[in-house]
Structure 1
Amino acid sequence: MDKTSTLELTILMPCLNEAETLATCIDKARAFLQSSGIQGEVLIADNGSTDGSIEIAERHGARVVHVPIRGYGAALSHGIANAHGQFVIMGDSDDSYDFSRLAPFVEKLREGFDVVMGNRFKGGIAAGAMPFLHRYLGNPVLSFIGRLFFSIPVRDFHCGLRGFNRQRILALNLMTTGMEFASELVVRSALAKYSITEVATTLSKDGRSRPPHLRTWRDGWRHLRFLLLFSPRWLFLYPGLITFVLGAILTFALFPGPVTIARGVTLDIHSIIVGCITMIIGTQCISFAVVARRYAASSGLLPADYRLRRAVSPLTLERALMFAGVLLVAGGMGVFHCLNIWRHADFGPLQYGEILRLLLVSGTAIALATQVAFTSFLSAFLDIEVKSPVKPDAAQGEPG
């Protein structure tokens, strides 16, 4: 009989040399299954333990799968793929999470939620269980970024105790192998429009005598990096739009002449230089956003953004090149006019304040035209559909 059709729950624990606490975690998990009457299993995804953890797990009634690739995410991915339960609840095997109190997770999963996150701030954090930087800086900041970037309705973004529908998570084809797997699971679920909720849970002090595998700054950066890479809007588009608009306002406000904004404070040609450079930087960021989003959608990293597709669908390669051509011609005419003024001065000294304004704006127009043209070609390149090579029918055989 297929075990996946009879088991409701798999309690999954990644393991790398957890001999001190593994037995306690397994016993609590098995006691929960027995007391609740849930048909389930305890699954240990071992990441290469050498301290007897495997023997301990088997002795205490857990099933062990051996993970060939090192990493927190690799262990969990392998465990999820080999789980026999309809639902999976995962948690660290360091005795910081209470596996005897999983009923709220199961209830929400039975209600139909795809992902159920634990919230340690609601349930209670024991003294010394969470480092100061994690509790008051790292977790709140990363959780806020997760809600802002992806509209994820959770307050404890990095709680390690969470449950989910196994088939729904397998369908996401999660890829990360390190600590950022925790972020990928919830971010990709949110992008796929899965239903997500959270329940209160507790966090106890790590029961091991050795330091945890987690490294504050290294792993915090890996989580932040993942959030940024999976949101081209916040990484590229919004900063690019703001930068471009500010640069354009500064440039065209000063184009007619100097502007005095306060007593003794006058903005002149140097501020136009800043404005022009800012416009170029902003345009580059916007072009990165378009290309990154199209690549992410075509490669399956992010779902297709139909609002973006509708917005940019009129901007075909040909139309973008026409717009770039208009900018190029306008910029070229401005540069030609500056050269003509210089020629009439017998290529001698000039009134730089006046001619530099036109020259800077014209040069910026040429630079923007170049960016738009090449970005359009790159974006069109990503849209090329590649078909698999056609193979001859084996039944027909080779020609005689």
Structure 2
Amino acid sequence: MNDVDVVLPCLDEARALPGVLAAMPLGFRPIVVDNGSSDGSAEVAEEHGAVVVREPRRGYGAAVQAGLTAATAEFVCFLDCDGSLDAGELPTMVALLRAGQADLVVGRRVPVTAAAWPWHARTGNALIAGLLRRRGIPVHDIAPVRAARRLDLLRLGVEDRAFGYPLELLCKAAEADWRVHELDVSYRPRAAGTKSKVSGSVLGTVRAVRDMAGVLW
């Protein structure tokens, strides 16, 4: 019986999806949330056995929340579907939840090559993570990979529907006295033909930092 759902926010990731879905661990059900793709991503996801949810409202947080709402499993993981992250690392994250060692497990990206994580994205991320640590939240990355219990996440009531979603999640988890555990995860160059909506450009990074700063303020 499946007790883990994996929410995959998606915007024009048709080229990466076959590989990402093929790497999904046994018992981990992929839920691809199509956020208005124009490249047939939703159809590719369906062809490769994923549950597809369509979320017309643009925004990372909107896609993530739509996937969380559609999930039914006890545990829910979140993973970008551009091929930069390894789904094979999700069982280790969920194991910490099962063992009662954490309430929220988040990834700390370790780039396998310098090209995997451009300087502007690393800089913006380090700035926000540093501010969080000053608030007592023990993270070094605002990474797009995390795992928690579904009902706990729903009760947390994260409201941001843009790039500030993962930051608000961490802040509210801290307010609720959740035990947050950070694990190193490998971070690879994205699949050919895909481009990050955040780190793919300086403008994307600035927008993400702006959204996250808004949450902190």
Q: Above 0.5 in TM-score?
A: yes
Of the three residues 67, 71, 83, the one matched with 1:79 is 67
Q: Is the strand fraction higher in 1 or 2?
A: 2
1:90 and 1:210 mapped to 2: Cα distance?
Answer: 19
CA shift in 2, pair 1:206/1:126, >3 Å: same
Of the three residues 140, 149, 166, the one matched with 1:155 is 140
1:81 and 1:91 mapped to 2: Cα distance?
Answer: 16
Amino acid at match of 1:154: V
- Structure number with higher relative contact order (C-alpha < 8 Å, ≥ 6 residues apart): 2
Of the three residues 33, 41, 45, the one matched with 1:45 is 33
2:121 and 2:173 mapped to 1: Cα distance?
Answer: 24
Deviations 1:257-278 (A, max 9, x none): xxxxxxxxxxxxxxxxxxxxxx
Q: Does 1:175 align with 2:159?
A: yes
Counterpart in the other structure of 1:143: 129
Cα drift, residue 7 of structure 1:
2.8
SS class of match (1:160): coil
Counterpart in the other structure of 1:222: 211
Deviations 1:191-243 (A, max 9, x none): 11111101111100111425321101121122122112xxxxxxxxxxxxxxx
Deviations 1:317-351 (A, max 9, x none): xxxxxxxxxxxxxxxxxxxxxxxxxxxxxxxxxxx
Matches within 5 A, 1:185-204: 185-204=169-188
TM-score (normalised: structure 2): 0.92
Q: Does 1:165 align with 2:152?
A: no
Runs (4+) off by over 4 Å? none
TM-score (normalised: structure 1): 0.51
Kept in 2, the 8 Å contact 1:104–1:199? The answer is no
1:193 and 1:45 mapped to 2: Cα distance?
Answer: 29
SS class of match (1:225): helix
Matches within 5 A, 1:231-270: none
2:41 and 2:196 mapped to 1: Cα distance?
Answer: 16
SS class of match (1:7): coil
SS class of match (1:202): strand
Matches within 5 A, 1:278-297: none
Of the three residues 3, 14, 21, the one matched with 2:9 is 14
**RMSD across aligned positions (CA):** 1.4
Kept in 2, the 8 Å contact 1:40–1:85? The answer is no
Cα drift, residue 147 of structure 1:
1.3
Cα drift, residue 62 of structure 1:
0.6
Q: Does 1:133 align with 2:120?
A: yes
CA shift in 2, pair 1:153/1:28, >3 Å: same
SS class of match (1:220): helix
Unaligned runs of 5+ in 2: 199-203
2:181 and 2:128 mapped to 1: Cα distance?
Answer: 18
Amino acid at match of 2:7: L
SS class of match (1:116): strand
Amino acid at match of 1:86: E
Kept in 2, the 8 Å contact 1:67–1:78? The answer is yes
Cα drift, residue 176 of structure 1:
0.9
User: How many positions carry a matched residue from both structures?
Assistant: 211
CA shift in 2, pair 1:59/1:184, >3 Å: same
Q: Does 1:66 align with 2:66?
A: no
Unaligned runs of 5+ in 1: 1-5, 34-38, 229-400
Percent of matched pairs sharing the same residue: 33
Q: Does 1:107 align with 2:95?
A: yes
Kept in 2, the 8 Å contact 1:14–1:91? The answer is yes
